[in-house]
Amino acid sequence: MVRYRIRPKLTRAPDKITATVGIDVGILNCAHDTEGTMIGVLDLTEERDRLKREQRTLSGKKHGSPN
């Protein structure tokens, strides 16, 4: 099992909000914001293949054994 923990740096909230940005999460593209910036779909094929490979190697091992 692999776990990731991300601890964001906490910052103080601004006293007055001057502008807002809306984010739309879609199917064809990962996200759009109100300013027109587009974030494309992430290519995670290498990470998925690596995870499959690691899971196959771990599946044959017994907990606590030296193999």
Each domain of the chain, given as residue ranges in start order, spans 24-59
Question: Looking at residue 50, what is its pLDDT?
Answer: 94
Question: Looking at residue 1, what is its pLDDT?
Answer: 65
- Cβ-Cβ contacts under 8 Å for 40 (sequence gap 6 or more): 29, 30
Tell me how far apart the alpha carbons of residues 51 and 44 are, in angstroms, rounded to a whole number.
Answer: 11
- Cβ-Cβ contacts under 8 Å for 61 (sequence gap 6 or more): 67
Question: Looking at residue 9, what is its pLDDT?
Answer: 76
Q: Is the pLDDT of residue 6 over 80?
A: no
Taking only the tens place, the pLDDT of each residue in 28-66 is 667 777 777 887 777 888 999 999 999 998 888 888 877
The whole-model pTM stands at 0.41
Q: Do the Cβ atoms of 34 and 22 come closer than 8 Å?
A: yes
